[in-house]
Copies of this chain bind each other. A is one copy, B any other.
């Protein structure tokens, strides 16, 4: 996938512009741009997890940001939140069908990143050499 063959003047939708609002790409891009979204989805792709488990797996996340991230993913319908009214309480998060589809799309991104990161980093180093020294 993501072969290096010709692109043949393929026209992308300039989503986000007045004429193309309905593509909904910004919805996804904004969510992807947030710092903890991908890692959270990645963790939940391994199966349902409790709040504390997710927190431990996301090194450096604060409770505030984790809660915000989970709320937004829940709002998008990507994950479900199940509360066990025990004491102490237990809250379990799990990907929905939509969330699993989202997770699979993220996998494409990860694959693409992995196979291009070296090229990109080299290009950046070249650029930086030519534009400072």
Report whether A123 and B23 are in contact in the complex, using a CB–CB cutoff of 8 Å. Answer: no
Task: Known A23-B117, A25-B110, A28-B109; judge A103-B12 contact (CB<8 A).
Answer: yes
Does A101 make an interface contact (CB < 8 A)?
yes
* A76–B121 alpha-carbon span in the complex (Å): 7
Does A90 make an interface contact (CB < 8 A)?
no
Q: How many copies does the complex hold?
A: 2
Sample of 9 further A-B pairs with CB below 8 A, known A15-B38, A16-B39: A10-B103, A14-B39, A18-B59, A25-B110, A27-B120, A28-B109, A75-B127, A76-B123, A101-B112
The residue on B at minimum CB distance from A44 is: B12
B residues within 8 A CB of A103?
7, 10, 12
Report whether B7 and A100 are in contact in the complex, using a CB–CB cutoff of 8 Å. Answer: yes
A113 to chain B, nearest CB (A): 4
* A77–B122 alpha-carbon span in the complex (Å): 9
B residues within 8 A CB of A57?
14
Report whether A12 and B41 are in contact in the complex, using a CB–CB cutoff of 8 Å. Answer: yes
